[in-house]
């Protein structure tokens, strides 16, 4: 995991430090009418013309960061709004320093972690809504394979999975705003965790949950159908156990092995899904912050968002592997 994170962050660091991005960053910090000499001077002064691996080492925290030098030859902080010392120091990811946000004029940590917390609340309610409903639909459809109930639930699941977030989000907005009149200007403009409203919280939860329900339900149904045809299920029925008892005591645990892996994989999907949904509903969480960082060439903030994304993906993969071994006795024994 550590090696994967190192490789991925190196690739992302290289891409966000491409020449067009650096020029846009310098122009945003100077003036649209700045000459090439001023742009180049700013990049040189702030260390963006140093060796690539030296800059990557500074971001990691294994190479000292150097202060700027003013016209009088005195050392000054690179970014005064981040309280950086006017002397060489080690300050990077390994020291818990994510850098400075040139867009929001503050440290990356002060902007990133509150946004991540807001998205965490959103993701919690998405999972709390999505997982129970999806499992219930999948189990009911798998128990009654081939029946009208199975066909109806399967069609509904496929329909929700085939509808991307940006489509269902628009549909929900039209339904609740134009038809029901539930949204108004003040509610639609409420942003962030301190301004949670129906429009910028409930609708995003519904939008993301609807999309994920169908996929998990289909996986649960397929797993349930496979388990219900196993020999030990037939043996339990022949022993006189009721159908509900067979399902709860014997079929359910084995049927949830595959959906568990799929559920854990929803966390990386949610990180990408919130980018669209949070911008659409102006919910100031991780996705909204990521778009703002990318749109304004905020390099340190963009790198911080990328690091969090890589960490979440790798962590959920690890939990998925451990949980799969716990649920599946054959893998645990091996």
The Cα 283–Cα 53 span in angstroms is 36
Among left, alpha and beta (phi > 0; psi -120 to 50; other), residue 96 is: left
Structure-block tokens of residue 130: 């999505």
236's enclosing H/E stretch is helix 231-238
The Cα 127–Cα 140 span in angstroms is 20
pLDDT per position as a tens digit, 21-47: 888 888 887 877 778 888 888 888 888
Domains of the chain: 1-97 (no CATH), 109-327 (1.10.3720.10)
pLDDT per position as a tens digit, 226-282: 887 777 777 877 777 777 777 776 677 777 777 877 788 777 777 777 888 888 888
Residues 6 or more apart from 55 whose CB is under 8 A from it? Answer: 13, 17, 47, 48
Residue with more model confidence, 21 or 325: 21
Say if residues 98 and 300 touch (Cβ distance below 8 Å).
Answer: yes
pLDDT per position as a tens digit, 41-93: 888 888 888 899 999 999 998 988 887 776 677 777 777 778 788 788 888 89
Instruction: Please state the φ and ψ torsions of residue 69, each to the nearest 5 degrees.
Output: -125, 125
Residue with more model confidence, 10 or 226: 10
Strand stretches in 3-157, DSSP E: 68-69, 75-76, 100-101, 106-107
Instruction: Please state the φ and ψ torsions of residue 221, each to the nearest 5 degrees.
Output: -60, -50
This prediction's pTM: 0.78
pLDDT per position as a tens digit, 93-135: 988 889 888 888 889 999 999 998 888 888 889 989 988 999 8
What local confidence, expressed as pLDDT, does residue 186 receive? Answer: 38
Say if residues 218 and 162 touch (Cβ distance below 8 Å).
Answer: no
Strand stretches in the chain, DSSP E: 68-69, 75-76, 100-101, 106-107
């Amino acid at each position: 995991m550590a090696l994967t994170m190192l490789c991925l962050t190196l690739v992302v660091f290289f891409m966000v430090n491409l020449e067009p991005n650096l020029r846009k960053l310098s122009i945003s910090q100077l003036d649209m009418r700045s000459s090439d000499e001023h742009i180049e001077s700013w990049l040189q002064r702030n260390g963006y013309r140093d060796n690539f691996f030296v800059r990557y080492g500074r971001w990691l925290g294994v190479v000292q960061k150097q202060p700027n030098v003013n016209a009088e030859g005195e050392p000054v902080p690179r970014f005064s709004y981040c309280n950086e010392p006017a002397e060489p120091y080690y300050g990077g990811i390994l020291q818990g320093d994510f850098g400075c946000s040139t867009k929001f004029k503050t440290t990356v940590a002060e902007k990133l972690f509150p946004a991540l917390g807001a998205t965490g609340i959103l993701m919690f309610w998405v999972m709390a809504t999505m997982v129970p409903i999806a499992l219930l639909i999948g189990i009911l459809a798998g128990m009654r394979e081939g029946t009208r109930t199975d066909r109806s639930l399967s069609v509904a699941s496929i329909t929700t999975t085939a509808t991307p977030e940006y489509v269902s989000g628009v549909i929900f907005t039209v339904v609740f705003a134009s038809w029901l009149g539930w949204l108004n200007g003040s509610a639609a403009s409420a942003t962030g965790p301190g301004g949670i409203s129906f429009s910028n919280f409930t609708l995003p939860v519904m939008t993301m949950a609807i999309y994920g329900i169908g996929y998990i339900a289909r996986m649960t149904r397929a797993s349930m159908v496979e388990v219900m045809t196993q020999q030990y299920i037939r043996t339990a029925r022949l022993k006189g156990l009721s159908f509900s008892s067979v399902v709860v005591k014997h079929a359910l645990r084995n049927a949830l092995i595959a959906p568990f892996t799929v559920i854990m994989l929803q966390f990386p999907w949610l990180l990408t899904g919130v980018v669209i949904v949070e911008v659409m509903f102006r919910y100031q969480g991780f996705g909204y912050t990521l778009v703002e960082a990318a749109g304004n060439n905020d390099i340190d903030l963009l790198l911080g968002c990328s690091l969090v994304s890589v960490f979440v993906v790798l962590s959920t993969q690890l939990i998925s592997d451990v949980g799969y071994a716990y649920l599946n006795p054959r893998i645990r024994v091996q």
